[in-house]
Amino acid sequence: MPIAFAGSPIDRADHIRCDPDRLAGLLNWKARLLIMDGLNPVFDDLGQIRWGSLADAAPDAELVFLGELEGKACFAPVPDQGATGPAYANPAIWEAMQRLAPGDLAIYGGARSLVDWHARHQFCARCGSRTAIAKGGWQRNCPPANEGGCSAQHFPRTDPVTIMLVEHEDKLLLGRQPRFPPKIYSALAGFVEPGETIEEAVAREIHEEAGVRVRDVEYIASQPWPFPSQLMIGCSSVTDDPELTIDATELDDARWFTRAELEEARAAGREGTDALIFPQKFAIAHQLLAWWLDK
């Protein structure tokens, strides 16, 4: 099963990003522009992402070079404003995840992360000067000192997040955040903090949120998650002590689910069972649970 937002068919063409003359030569009528409504996708008549020409961009818009697709240079416009609210509150995001084919979803996700970063990083974090787009949009530069800046270079960031299964005697620990709809449970997750490994982040987050000590942390799979720009690092772990101490500031609830309960919820589909709705297919939690159930 494809992992949502992964597998983009675009060639990122780093060799072109580094060549200003060649990049400038691609800004012509042959180039394709990903049409977006701010940060939201725009669909064509076939329900695919909509492509236009550079003539569709606002005259003063910054353009980010996404790469090449089918021999054509692809760009996306930087919106006037970056993300201002949680992605889960935006109906257009949910529509895109359920409607777009895997390749289109990956193109949109990568473009969204990149243009959102540009919209929110117009000024240098060191000196406050206005920055300028560089390397086709994969960098922003602060002006040199003689132009009032500090010459700092800034790069689009990706924030690592661990999302992990915890197993004890053929049961899995799942939790729910207060914002989750009823019956929605998922794998526990948290940001990797400075100075720790992925394994340490898994152990720390599980103990902080559920009071459980784990061992045997293993990597399973990863998923780019463009809200705003995260890399979900899927892992598994084992605990010898299932007693829970739930952090109420992080979780509304956490509980152990048997293999039979998880199998029943998966088979029930979107409606779930009386106790649980299985994570949707666009979430890496779905792949992690399916991996555990099928191994």
Residue recorded with tokens 């777009």:
100
Nearest 5°: the CA angle 211, 212, 214 is 150
What is the torsional sign of CA 122, 136, 139, 87?
A: positive
Residues of the chain within CATH 3.90.79.10 domain(s) are: 159-294
Q: How many residues does the chain have?
A: 295
pLDDT for the residue numbered 90: 86
Distance CA 118, CA 126 (A): 16
pLDDT band at 84 (very low <50, low <70, confident <90, very high): confident
pLDDT in tens, 126-173: 999 999 999 999 999 999 999 999 999 999 999 999 999 999 999 999
Is 70 exceeded by the pLDDT of residue 1?
A: no
Share of the chain above pLDDT 70, in %: 100
Burial 92-120 (b: 16+ CB within 10 A, else e): ebeebbeebebbbbbbbbbbbbbbbbbbe
Which H or E run includes 204?
helix 198-210
Cα dist from 29 to 35, 56, 64, 229, whole Å: 15, 11, 16, 31
For the entire predicted model, the pTM comes to 0.94
pLDDT for the residue numbered 89: 78
pLDDT for the residue numbered 269: 93
In 3D space, the residue among 62, 73, 69, 59 whose CA is nearest the CA of residue 28 turns out to be 73
pLDDT for the residue numbered 242: 97
Is 80 exceeded by the pLDDT of residue 88?
A: no
pLDDT in tens, 189-205: 999 999 999 999 999 99
Encode 65-124 in three state secondary structure.
Answer: EEEEECCEEEEEECCCCCCCCCHHHCHHHHHHHHHCCHHHHHHHHHHHHHHHHHHHCCEC
Is 80 exceeded by the pLDDT of residue 60?
A: yes
CATH superfamily of 159-294: Nucleoside Triphosphate Pyrophosphohydrolase (3.90.79.10)
152, burial (CB in 10 Å: exposed 0-12, middle 13-18, buried 19+): middle
pLDDT in tens, 238-290: 999 999 999 999 999 999 999 999 999 999 998 999 999 999 999 999 999 99
